[in-house]
Structure 1
Amino acid sequence: MAGGPTGTYGGRSAQERRAERRERFLRAALDQFGDRPGYRAASVTALCEAAGLSTRQFYEEFRNLEDVLAQLHLVVNDWTEQAVLAALGDSAGLAFEARIRAVLRAYVAAATDDPRRLRIAFVEIIGVSAALERQRLVRRSRWVELILAEARAAAERGEAAERDYRIAATAFIGAVNGLLHDWTAGQFEASMEQVVDELVALLLGVVRPPA
Structure 2
Amino acid sequence: MEGSRRSGERVAGRITPASGRYGGRTAAERQAERRRRLLEAGLELFGAGPGYRGTTVTALSQAAGLSTRQFYEEFRTLEDLLAELHLQVNDVAEQTVLAVLPELDDLDPIDRYTAMFRAYAAGITGDPRHTRIAFVEIIGVSPRLDEQRLARRARWVDFLCAQADAAVARGELAPRDYRLAATAFIGSINGLMHDWAVGWVEASLDQVVDELLHMLLGVLRAPAGE
Q: 2:188, 2:134 → 1: CA distance?
A: 14
2:134 aligns with 121
Contact 2:132 2:197 in 1 (8 A): no
**CA–CA distance in 1 between the matches of 2:85 and 2:197?**
20
Q: Distance in 1 between matches of 2:163 and 2:192?
A: 22
How large is the RMSD of aligned CA atoms in angstroms?
2.0
Q: Report the Cα distance in structure 2 between the residues aligned to 1:52 and 1:30, rounded to whole angstroms.
A: 14
* Superposition pairs of residues 24-103 of structure 1, within 5 angstroms: 24-103=37-116
Aligned pair partner of 1:7 in 16, 20, 30: 20
Q: 1:159 aligns with which of 167, 172, 183?
A: 172
Q: Bigger shift: 50-59 or 156-165?
A: 156-165
Q: CA deviation at 1:93?
A: 2.4
Q: Structure 1: which 5+ residue stretches go unaligned? A: none
Q: Displacement, 1:196?
A: 4.2
The corresponding residue for 2:192 is 179
Shift of the 154–124 alpha-carbon distance from structure 1 to 2, 3 Å rule, reads: same
Quick check: which one's helix share is greater? 1
Q: Point out where structure 2 has 5 or more consecutive residues left out of the alignment.
A: 1-14
Relative to structure 1, the CA distance from residue 182 to residue 35 in structure 2 (aligned partners, 3 Å threshold; closer, same or farther) is same
Amino acid across the alignment from 2:125: T
Q: Distance in 2 between matches of 1:161 and 1:116?
A: 38
Contact 2:46 2:137 in 1 (8 A): yes
Mapped to 2, the partners of 1:69 and 1:191 lie a distance apart of 24
What letter corresponds to residue 94 of structure 1 in structure 2?
Answer: L
| Other structure's SS at 2:192 match | helix
2:217 to 197, 204, 207: 204
Structure 2 length as normaliser, TM-score?
Answer: 0.84
Q: Deviations over 1:144-188 (max 9, x none)?
A: 111001100111122212122111111101112223334455523
Shift of 1:191: 6.0
In 1, the alpha carbon distance for the partners of 2:197 and 2:139 equals 18
Query: 2:48 aligned with 1:23, yes or no?
Result: no
Q: CA deviation at 1:17?
A: 1.0
2:122 to 84, 95, 109: 109
Count residues with an aligned counterpart.
206
Q: Aligned pair in 2 of structure 1 residues 132, 65: CA closer, same or farther (>3 Å)?
A: same
C-alpha separation in 2, matches of 1:127 and 1:197: 28
Structure 1 residues 199 and 157 mapped into 2: Cα distance closer, same or farther (>3 Å)?
A: farther
CA distance in 1: counterparts of 2:109 and 2:139, whole angstroms = 33
2:202 maps to 1:188 = yes
After alignment, is 24-33 or 84-93 more displaced? Answer: 84-93
One-letter amino acid matched to 2:44: D
TM-score by length of 1: 0.89
Report the structure number with the largest CA radius of gyration.
Answer: 2
* C-alpha separation in 2, matches of 1:70 and 1:185: 20
Q: Residue 131 of structure 1 aligns with which residue?
A: 144
Structure 1 pair 201–29 and aligned structure 2 pair: CA distance change class (3 A): same
Query: d(CA) in 1 for partners of 2:39 and 2:135?
Result: 18
Larger RCO (CA under 8 A, 6+ residues apart): 1
Distance 1:184 1:129, change over 3 A: closer
> Aligned AA for 1:103?
M
